[in-house]
Amino acid sequence: MSDLMAVRTGDLPRSASANDLYRAVWRWHFYAGLFVLPFLISLSITGGLYLFRDEIDTFVHADLKRVVAEDGADLAAPSRLVAAALDAVPGTAVKYTQNAGPTSSAEITVKSAGGEKRVVYLDPYDARVLGSLPDQGTIMWTVRHLHSLRFFGPVARGLIEITAGWSILLVVTGLYLWWPRGRKEGVVTVRGTPKKRVFWRDLHAVAGSMLGVFIVFLAVTGMPWSQVWGGKVNEWANGSNFGYPSGVRVDVPMSGQRLSDEGPVGWSLQQAEVPLSGATPFRTPIGLDRAVAVFDTLGLYRGYSVNLPTRPTGVYTGSVYPDDLTQQRVVHLDQYTGEPLLDMSYADYGPLGRSLEWGINVHLGQEFGWFNQWFLAAVCVGNVALAVSAGVMWWKRRPSRSMGVPPLPKDTSVFRGLLVLLAIGGVLFPLVGASLLVMLLLDWTMTRLRARRAA
């Protein structure tokens, strides 16, 4: 909701104390919006696009990702696909990704001697090479990295975490400002025309009242992937049976290498380690073809990936993270015997892991199929409209040569309750708390400077 809501006589509470509280809330709503709105627009556009990642990637990269289904034709052996990929892109094959459907291509990830990775796309029926891209080089991976600000380093990624916390503050203060207090106009209806400020005020207030709960949901479900808060919560959860997959806690030699080092994994598996194969002299690896046969027998969901062992103690790791959460699964096979060393699924996650994975799945538009995608896409469009209406409303009401910061309440003691709430939020989300302190200091400094000029 608006960070820049004009005070009208009909909006203000009747008592002086309530009026002061309104002004205090309005001031912090302004500050929250000042910080959040640019990110809200960026996150909504990139997030809205990423909801349709499979559809967009398949369209943009149709020459690489789509093949003609051949009725009755057998699929080429995985080892044949690997050999064809290495002929096209020399290096070491590190991952095989099965074709998800009859018209989908297969993928082989190849690591060069210099450490760079490329994904080679192949026709799964005749092993014909369709082309290649850098690892995570599709258009939707670019959008995902823009969404998380990964392109801009850890400091920029920290801003996303701060934005999530400030978004919650923006919604809470905005709902307080929107509350009818006996008013009937501008609560669920929009008055005037786009030429008038009241139109933008009402549009913003009505849209914000409807979108607020979804903004909070997206902020909370995006936090598990954040740099500081998400990482610490993951470490805490995986330090107990509350969040860690129980399949990790077995008496199996572990390599110390994290599964997440080999590629994207579910939130609950960020700390999971890869086990060791029992390497002894004269033992022969089972090979990729047999490993895939074992994974198929175990019932991994179609379209799974297999990380290939690159060391004598390495394992074959089959993993899949489909839209259906119950089908999430990671299985490690001994590369010499083909025996499963660890088999982890969504059912093995602790209560915290399951709840957060569900929230992330909804956040990504996966949990409820096309309805989830289109509903969140509408929310993203609404968020952009919310931000634009705030900017237009502010522009129409701001004083000349001024930022139009809402005035301080006459009785500044009303800030005490608000500051308590801010302090609680700061403890729960440390980066957000630090940013709140910075904003408090800036607000106090600017207020003192203006007071000196006026004296």
**Residue 9: per-residue pLDDT:** 45
Total domains, the chain: 3
Residue 427: inside a domain? yes
Contacting residues for 436 by C-beta, under 8 A, at least 6 apart:
422, 425, 426
Quote the CA–CA distance of 274 and 286 in Å, as a whole number. Answer: 18
List the CATH number of the domain containing 69: 3.10.450.40
Residue 283: inside a domain? yes
pLDDT tens for each residue of 273-322: 888 888 777 789 999 999 999 999 999 999 999 999 988 889 999 999 99
Q: ∠ CA(25), CA(29), CA(31), 5° rounding?
A: 120
**Residue 155: per-residue pLDDT:** 75
Q: Which domain holds residue 311?
A: 245-349
Q: Among 137, 166, 198, give the residue marking a domain's end.
A: 137
**Among 455, 449, 408, 432, residue whose Cα is nearest residue 27:** 408
Q: Residue 437 is which amino acid?
A: L
Q: Among 137, 162, 188, give the residue marking a domain's end.
A: 137
179 and 30 in a common domain: yes
Whole-Å CA distances, 381 to 35, 53, 197, 215, 279: 19, 17, 21, 12, 55
Residue 160: inside a domain? yes
If you average pLDDT over residues 257-280, what whole number do you get?
79
Chain center to CA of 10: 40
150 and 25 in a common domain: yes
295 and 257 in a common domain: yes
151 and 43 in a common domain: yes
Contacting residues for 195 by C-beta, under 8 A, at least 6 apart:
none
- Global pTM value: 0.85
220 and 74 in a common domain: no
193 and 132 in a common domain: no
User: What H or E segment, with its residue span, contains residue 8?
Assistant: none
395 and 334 in a common domain: no
156 and 38 in a common domain: yes
Residue 392: inside a domain? yes
Residue 2: inside a domain? no
98 and 21 in a common domain: no
343 and 259 in a common domain: yes
If you average pLDDT over residues 110-131, what whole number do you get?
94
Contacting residues for 434 by C-beta, under 8 A, at least 6 apart:
426
